Amino acid sequence: MSDDKDTDQKEAFSPERITFENRYVTVVGEINDKLAKTTVERLLALAAVSDDPITMFISSPGGHVESGDMVHDLIKFIKPTVRVIGSGWVASAGALIFIGAKKENRFCLPNTRFLLHQPSGGIGGKASDIQIQAQQLKIMKERFERIFAEATGQSEEKIAEDTKRDFWLNTDEAIAYGLLGKVITSASDI
């Protein structure tokens, strides 16, 4: 009998159950297809349960752009409002996910840093394949500039210029740039 009670208590306090019941989603680490799949599944499950807001916590060095696109687009697709809270660092494809939320729903904790840069990729193979890959990177870069311009209010040309190299922003700079809505220090600040 004691084993059943212990099991029930462990299940009641499991991180998965607590995050689901509180409508939290965490995106931590490299953005890849596995993380995107898990994140999208959780967002869809929470959206199916209710239209109440979902809070996503993100700390990521970035990763695969198309995996970031998947989460970014789903944040906009589902009916519940998604609030994102950056912590640690929100970089590259992580920043792409971050701006999936409306500006008024983009928050971060005080010590968060942001990194934007143009997409990159490994190119190899036959000359004709290299040419195709280079063209696809150019298309991705232009799309990235458009998406970030729309999300921040900056011009596409400014985004292109700023992201020629790694473009780091602290919280004050991120607010001024239009990337971030508000710095928060507690859950009651949302």
Q: Is 72 in the active site?
A: no
Q: Is 2 in the active site?
A: no
Contact indicator for 143, 160 with CB cutoff of 8 Å = no
13/132 Cα distance (integer angstroms): 51
> Which one of the listed residues 72, 92, 120, 155 is annotated catalytic?
92
46/53 Cα distance (integer angstroms): 9
> Which one of the listed residues 117, 120, 155, 188 is annotated catalytic?
117
Amino acid letter for position 123: I
What is the number of alpha carbons within 13 Å of residue 36 lying toward its C-beta? 20
29/53 Cα distance (integer angstroms): 23
* Residue 178 region by backbone torsions, left for phi larger than 0, else alpha for psi between -120 and 50, else beta: left
| β-bridge partners, 59 | 28
Contact indicator for 179, 152 with CB cutoff of 8 Å = yes
Catalytic residue positions? 92, 117
